[in-house]
Structure 1
Amino acid sequence: MKYIILLSDGMAGRPLSELSGRTTLEAAHTPVMDTLAKVSEIGMTSMVPKGMAPGSDTANLAVMGYDPKKYYTGRSPLEALSIGVDMADSDISFRCNLVTLSEEGDAYEERTILDHSSDEISTQEAEVLLSAVKERLVKEGYQFYTGTSYRHLLIWKGGRVLELTPPHDILTKKIGSYLPKDPVLREMMEKSYEILEHHPINENRRKNGLKPANSLWFWGAGTKPALTSFEERTGKKGVMISAVDLLKGIAIGAGMDCVCVEGANGGLHTNYKGKALAAVQALTEDGYDFAYIHVEAPDEMGHQGSAAHKIEAIEHVDKEVLGTVAEKLNQAGEDYRLLLLPDHPTPIEVRTHTGDPVPYLLYDSTKEQDGLVAYNEKTAETSGRYEKDGYRLIGHLLQEELC
């Protein structure tokens, strides 16, 4: 038996008037999901424990079977694992976004966040901009590391964990009341604007109709993580397929392997089918028992506030990822169990994560169940199934109780 989790990040949402009271998941054309729904277990679950922020960090830990209340030490340290940063116990890691700030006025604190991802800036452009920042913001005890796209890293040697606001939580808001209280971090952010605002990369982006990446934004602080081995806990050899450093970091911390797929970038135009084929190869040819396929696009489109693009992303997940995995595993004659779900909702109207329960679909190729007519939030709520401790759901997928 092979096991798959297809995590469609932020796929769940709330009813929208522009969609006649439907969510983006309901409005999307998802024939593969709906076909499987008729013979699968459908239910609801909560991946974010009460009292914890509804981030992809806490939620994906839970999907992987790690109770966030026990294992979570911050988002950025998990990304540090992916980048290859060897953190000391006294180090503090911060996510360092390249964001787009408004340009009107003179005072930095009066600006607003227009885009937390700077139009999903390429890693190549971001690396040039971060190099310019490194040259001008050299400070003893602080080290920048390049990540992927807009997602980068700052290590503060001997620092302290600070409560900082994710930029996607305050889109269109003035930043003054959300800036770090720590004077060094605030100064770095202010000076980064001076360095980046008229950098040639950003001037060229403006000419091409793209938003400039004109400021750093620090958040997600935390200490060195310590996850237990996934294989020791489950008896399954697992592989992670994701373009996002956070998910790669969770996998590395759990002792799992990661597969890099060419053209996978965490955006709307990622290599969906390439991810599916990589999972199939890992399961049928490379000796893995478990594959975790993470697709970031629905979440990014939720942050962008685009219902049309979020629907498009969900439809790509249905056809190119789920459809490909099911078709290829069936052709290979593999028995498999597949869990499809989002980690959290990213509703269009709020453009950030919420802690609402999410729908899940659990399919077993060896036995058909009495399912539901379709897979979405509304049908899942009618099922009567609800797992309040989401980190336990993977045990249901693997047909065993986990430590």
Structure 2
Amino acid sequence: MKYIIVLSDGMAGRPLEKLGGKTTLEAADTPNFDRLAEKAEIGLASMVPEGMAPGSDTANLSVMGYDPKIYYTGRSPLEALSIGVDMAADDVSFRCNLVTLTEDGGAYEDQKIIDHSSSEISTEDSTVLLEALKEGLKREGYEFYAGTSYRHLLIWKHGKVLELTAPHDILTKTVGEYLPKDLVLLDMMKKSYEILKDHPINVERKKQGLNPANSAWFWGAGTRPALASFEEKTGKKGVMISAVDLLKGIAVGADMDRIIVEGANGGLHTNYEGKADAAIHALLEDGYDFAYVHVEAPDEMGHMGSVTDKITAIENVDGRVVARITEAMDRSGEDYRLMILPDHPTPICVRTHTSEPVPYMIYDSRKAIDGIHTYNEKEAAKSTCIWKDGYRLIDHLLEC
């Protein structure tokens, strides 16, 4: 028996007047989701524990079977694991986004944040900008590390965990009231704006109609995590397939193998087929029992507030990932159980994560149950399958 999770990040949402009261998942053309739904278990699961922020960190830990109330120590430490940073017990890590602020003149505090990803800046360009920050923001006890696209890392040696605001939570808002209280972090953010706003890469980006990556933004503070081994916990040899450092970091912490797919970038134009093929090869050729296929695109498009692009991202997961995996597994004759779900909603109307339960679907190739024919939030809400402790759902997937 093989086990697969296709995690379509932020796929769930809320009804939109523009779509006639439908969510983007309802509006998307998803024939493969719906074909499986006719024979699958569909329900709702709460992946964000009450009282915790609805981040991809807490939610993906839940999907992986790790209770965030026990295992969560912050988002950026998980990314540090992926990058290979060896954190000491009293080190504190921070996510360092390269974001787009307005350039309206006046004080830094008066600018607005208009893009948390700087038009999905490439890793190549953002690494050059990070080198400029490393040089211009040198301070003893603070170290920068390059990540993927706009997602980078700052380590504060012997630091303090601080309450900081995620940039995707304050899109279009004036930044003043959301800035760090810590004077060193605040000073570095202000100086980063002066270093980056006229950098040649950003000058060229603006000529091309792209958002400039003109400021560092620190958030997601935390200390070194300690996850239990996934294989010891579940008895399954697992592999993670993701372009996002957070997910790769969870895999490192859980002693899972990782597959890096060429052309996978966490954006709308990622290598969907490459991710599907990596899962197929891992399960059918390399002896893995479990594959976690993470696709970031629906979440990114939700943050951008693009209805059309979020629908496209969902349709790509359906037609270029799920279809490809199920067709290969069916041809192989190998029995498998497949779970499809988002980690959290990222509704277009708010452009950030929310805590509502997410719709999940579990399909078993060996048996057909009387499903509900359509996979979306509205249909899942009619189900009697409700998981208040979402971190337990993976045990249900793996129990057969």
TM-score by length of 1: 0.99
Give the letter aligned to residue 133 of structure 1.
Answer: L
* Residue 292 of structure 1: aligned partner: 292
User: How far 1:384 moved relative to its partner?
Assistant: 1.9
Aligned residue in 2 for 1:328 = 328
For 2:25, the equivalent position in structure 1 comes to: 25
User: Structure 1 regions of 5+ residues with no counterpart?
Assistant: none
Q: CA deviation at 1:106?
A: 1.4
2:357 counterpart residue number: 357
What is the CA–CA distance in structure 1 between the aligned matches of 2:136 and 2:60, rounded to whole Å?
36
- The 1-side partners of 2:383 and 2:31 are apart by 20
Partner of 2:115: 115
Q: What SS does structure 1 have at the residue aligned with 2:291?
A: strand
> Which string of whole-angstrom CA distances, capped at 9 and with x for unpartnered residues, describes residues 55-111 of structure 1?
000000000000000000000000000000000001000000000000002100000
| Structure-1 separation of matches of 2:320 and 2:127 | 30
Equivalent position of 1:258 in the other structure: 258
Matched, 1:311 2:317: no
Cα distance in structure 1, aligned partners of 2:378 and 2:212 = 39
Partner of 1:172 in structure 2? 172
Counterpart amino acid of 2:33? Answer: M
Give the match's secondary structure for 1:303. Answer: helix
- In structure 2, what is the Cα distance between the partners aligned to 1:31 and 1:21? 20
> Matches of residues 46-57 of structure 1 in structure 2 within 5 Å?
46-57=46-57
User: Equivalents in 1 of 2:174, 2:105: separation in Å?
Assistant: 12
Sequence identity of aligned pairs in percent? 72
What letter matches 1:391 in structure 2? Y
SS of equivalent residue, structure 2 residue 221: strand
- The corresponding residue for 1:369 is 369
2:61 alignment partner in structure 1: 61
Residues in 1 aligned to 2:330 and 2:385: alpha-carbon distance in whole angstroms: 28
Offset of residue 36 of structure 1: 0.4
What is the letter of the counterpart of residue 159 of structure 2? G
Partner Cα separation in structure 2 for residue 86 and residue 356 of structure 1: 35
Q: Alpha-carbon deviations, 1:348-382, whole Å to 9, x = none?
A: 01000000011000000001111002000000011
Return the alpha-carbon distance in structure 2 between the equivalents of residues 183 and 286 of structure 1. 51
Give the AA of the match of 2:172: T
2:128 and 2:383 mapped to 1: Cα distance?
51
What RMSD over aligned residues (CA atoms) do the two structures have, in Å? 0.5
Instruction: Output the CA distance in 2 between the equivalents of 1:185 and 1:312.
Output: 38
**Which segments of 5 or more consecutive residues in structure 2 lack a partner in the other structure?**
none
Q: Normalised by the size of structure 2, how large is the TM-score?
A: 1.00
2:154 matches 1:154? yes
* Residue 210 of structure 1: aligned partner: 210
Counterpart of 2:39?
39
The size of the alignment, in residue pairs, is 400
Distance in 2 between residues matched to 1:103 and 1:349, nearest whole Å: 25
Task: Map 1:244-283 to 2 at 5 A.
Answer: 244-283=244-283
In the aligned structure 2, how far is the partner of 1:311 from the partner of 1:49? 27
The whole-number CA distance in structure 2 between the counterparts of 1:294 and 1:133 is 30
CA distance in 2, matches of 1:133, 1:378: 46
